[in-house]
């Protein structure tokens, strides 16, 4: 018997089965042979929320949640945040290797020259209510892009896929900025090809009647935040991307699904919730009372806890350090003191220690974004822009993966057995 196998004894029948172990996993389909009788459907695994289920093979992002490690294509997140740019990291995530100088230049040129959107996108966005949430506008507009690029449905053609990937990475900041301008009742600002990816985004967001030059510290800080958010293996949004696209739908429709998943307060919406939580707490003096409420399960400490990290989220450490650099330019955000006190108390408290609850990436990003003048409801949008590359790299990987098949889980049926229809007059 192979050492790389699992022996299972079914105590219902006394039968023994040997199931191969590959890469530390067993295949759920190997359980199907385990039956009480020939009529039996066979054993399934039950894992709502995919707590212990691998859904794909991926060579993109590595996380060790116990040790607090995050790497893209083998490169530690700390080194990328220190030395790389968002577009260079995007190239790495998509292609597997860091670009040479000519490759990087060509890539930056390609993205920079695809940032404009069709004029009808503006008309489409004009149709939203004046107070529409920018994330709702973003999700809908991403989906609408599929109608502008009908060729995108040729998902088996790798050149067509590559083109949509460039378009989406290039146009996300434009759509995001348009959503903000629409919300504020301000005229849209067209992309400026002389600026960097984040410099251009800042300009499209904040230019008023005067000329606008992004502050280099803020431009770089945003670039680093984008690097930190670029990918995070099989999180809720990425799982949505893979799941929706497994039906062979075009990438715009699939990515609208991924962005919708990101919008939720337990995922990319958490940074918005963190800021609202800090504002509600109001002052450092109120922190102990708030912690008591969390421990009484009246509320969650937003920005704490993570499905994978059972240690300090390495991204949170980088963001915390960066907050001080940003505040040198913008002035200190008073909410920082509340956040620091929350973190201090939580990290010393048995409730949080026992449950291995540490700050996640969202805990400090909100106060940086706020100091940079982004309104709170733009926070999930600021997450969706950089995560675009992760979604698309994972999509591309899944398209090339022979194991990819339509995502279609099983269920444990808990409803009625067959029963006869009762005409309405006879129902009590």
Q: Catalogue the active-site residues.
A: 267, 306, 362
203 or 387: CB nearest ligand ACO:
387
SS3 string, the chain, reads CCCCEEEEEECCCCEEEEEECECCECCHHHHHHCCCCCCCCCCCCCCCCCCCCCCCCCCCEEEECCCCEEEECCEEHHHHHHHCCHHHHHHHHHHCCCCCHHHHHHHHHHHHCCCCCCHHHHHHHHCCCCCCCHHHHHHHHHHHHHHHCHHHHCCCCHHHHHHHHHHHHHHHHHHHHHHHHHHHCCCCCCCCCCCCHHHHHHHHHHCCCCCCCCCHHHHHHHHHHHHHCCCCCCCHHHHHHHHHHCCCCCHHHHHHHHHHHHHCCCCCCHHHHHHHHHHHHCCHHHHHHHHHHHHCCCCCCCCECCCCCCCCCHHHHHHHHHHHHHHHHHCCCCHHHHHHHHHHHHHHCHHHHHCCCCECCHHHHHHHHHHCCCCHHHHHHHHHHHHHHHHHHHHHHHHHCCCCCCCCCCCCCCCCCCCCCCCHHHCC
Six-digit token string for 400: 């090339």
Distance separating alpha carbons of residues 276 and 380, to the nearest angstrom: 13
Q: Does 153 bind ligand ACO (CB under 6 A)?
A: no
Output the CA angle 390-172-116, nearest 5 degrees. Answer: 135
Of residues 304 through 323, those in contact with ligand ACO by CB under 6 A are: 304-307
Distance separating alpha carbons of residues 7 and 19, to the nearest angstrom: 6
Residue 30 beta carbon to ligand ACO: minimum distance, rounded to whole angstroms: 27
Residue 73 beta carbon to ligand ACO: minimum distance, rounded to whole angstroms: 20
199 or 269: CB nearest ligand ACO:
269
Segment interacting with ligand ACO (CB under 6 A) among 83-91, 126-134, 138-146, 352-360: 352-360
Distance separating alpha carbons of residues 122 and 184, to the nearest angstrom: 14
Segment interacting with ligand ACO (CB under 6 A) among 5-13, 17-25, 354-362, 395-403: 354-362
154 or 355: CB nearest ligand ACO:
355
Q: Assess contact for 369 and 271: CB atoms under 8 A.
A: yes
Of residues 270 through 289, those in contact with ligand ACO by CB under 6 A are: 270
Q: Assess contact for 370 and 364: CB atoms under 8 A.
A: no
Distance separating alpha carbons of residues 13 and 72, to the nearest angstrom: 47
66 or 157: CB nearest ligand ACO:
66
Residue 271 beta carbon to ligand ACO: minimum distance, rounded to whole angstroms: 8
x/- contact string, 226-265, with ligand ACO (CB under 6 A)? ----------------------------------------
Residue 31 beta carbon to ligand ACO: minimum distance, rounded to whole angstroms: 24
Give how many residues touch ligand ACO by CB under 6 A: 17
Nearest to 169 by CA among 201, 202, 192: 201
**Residue nearest ligand ACO, CB atom distance:** 305
Residue 300 beta carbon to ligand ACO: minimum distance, rounded to whole angstroms: 4
Of residues 286 through 305, those in contact with ligand ACO by CB under 6 A are: 294, 300-305
Residue 214 beta carbon to ligand ACO: minimum distance, rounded to whole angstroms: 25
Residue 342 beta carbon to ligand ACO: minimum distance, rounded to whole angstroms: 11
Q: Assess contact for 221 and 375: CB atoms under 8 A.
A: no
Segment interacting with ligand ACO (CB under 6 A) among 100-108, 266-274, 365-373, 408-416: 266-274
256 or 357: CB nearest ligand ACO:
357
Residue 175 beta carbon to ligand ACO: minimum distance, rounded to whole angstroms: 21
x/- contact string, 356-385, with ligand ACO (CB under 6 A)? -x--xxx-----------------------
Q: Which residue from 29, 36, 184, 266 is in contact with ligand ACO, where contact means CB under 6 A?
A: 266
Residue 237 beta carbon to ligand ACO: minimum distance, rounded to whole angstroms: 8
195 or 270: CB nearest ligand ACO:
270
114 or 267: CB nearest ligand ACO:
267
Q: Please give the residue ranges that form the binding site for ligand ACO (CB under 6 A).
A: 266-267, 270, 294, 300-307, 355, 357, 360-362
């Amino acid at each position: 018997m192979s050492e790389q196998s699992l022996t299972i004894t079914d105590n219902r029948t006394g039968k023994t089965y040997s199931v191969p172990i590959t890469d530390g996993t067993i295949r759920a389909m190997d359980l199907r042979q385990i039956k009480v009788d020939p009529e039996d459907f066979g054993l399934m695994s039950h894992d709502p929320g995919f707590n212990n289920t691998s859904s794909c093979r991926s060579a993109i992002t590595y996380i060790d949640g116990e040790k607090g490690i995050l790497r893209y294509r083998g490169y530690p997140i700390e080194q990328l945040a220190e030395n790389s740019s968002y577009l260079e990291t995007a190239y790495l995530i998509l292609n597997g290797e860091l670009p040479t100088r000519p490759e990087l230049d060509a890539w930056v040129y390609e993205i920079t020259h695809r940032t404009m959107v069709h004029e009808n996108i503006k008309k489409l966005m004009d149709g939203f209510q004046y107070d529409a949430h920018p994330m709702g506008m973003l999700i809908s507009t991403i989906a609408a892009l599929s109608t502008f690029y009908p060729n995108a449905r040729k998902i088996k053609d790798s050149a067509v896929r590559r083109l949509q990937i460039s378009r989406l990475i290039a146009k996300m900041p434009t759509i995001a900025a348009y959503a903000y301008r629409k919300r504020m009742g301000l005229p849209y600002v067209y992309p400026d090809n002389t600026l960097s990816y984040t410099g251009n985004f800042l300009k499209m967001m904040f230019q008023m009647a005067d000329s606008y030059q992004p502050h280099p510290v803020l431009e770089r800080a945003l670039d680093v935040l984008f690097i930190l958010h670029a990918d995070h293996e099989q999180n809720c949004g990425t799982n949505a991307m893979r799941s929706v696209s497994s039906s062979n739908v075009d990438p715009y429709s699939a990515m609208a699904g991924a962005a919708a998943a990101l919008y939720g307060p337990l995922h990319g919406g958490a940074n918005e919730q963190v800021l609202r939580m800090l504002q509600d707490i109001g002052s450092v003096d109120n922190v102990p009372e708030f912690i008591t409420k969390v421990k009484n399960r009246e509320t969650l400490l937003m920005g704490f806890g993570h499905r994978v990290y059972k240690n300090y989220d390495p991204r949170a450490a980088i963001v915390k350090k960066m907050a001080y650099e940003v505040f040198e330019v913008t002035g200190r955000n008073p909410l920082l003191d509340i956040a620091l006190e929350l973190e201090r108390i939580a990290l010393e408290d048995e409730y949080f220690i026992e449950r291995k609850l540490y700050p996640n990436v969202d805990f400090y990003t909100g106060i940086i974004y706020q100091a940079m003048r982004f309104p709170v409801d733009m926070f999930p949008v600021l997450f969706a822009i950089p995560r675009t590359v992760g979604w698309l790299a994972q999509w591309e990987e899944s398209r090339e993966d022979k194991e990819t098949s339509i995502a279609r889980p099983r269920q444990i049926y808990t409803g009625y057995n067959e029963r006869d229809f009762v005409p309405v007059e006879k129902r009590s």
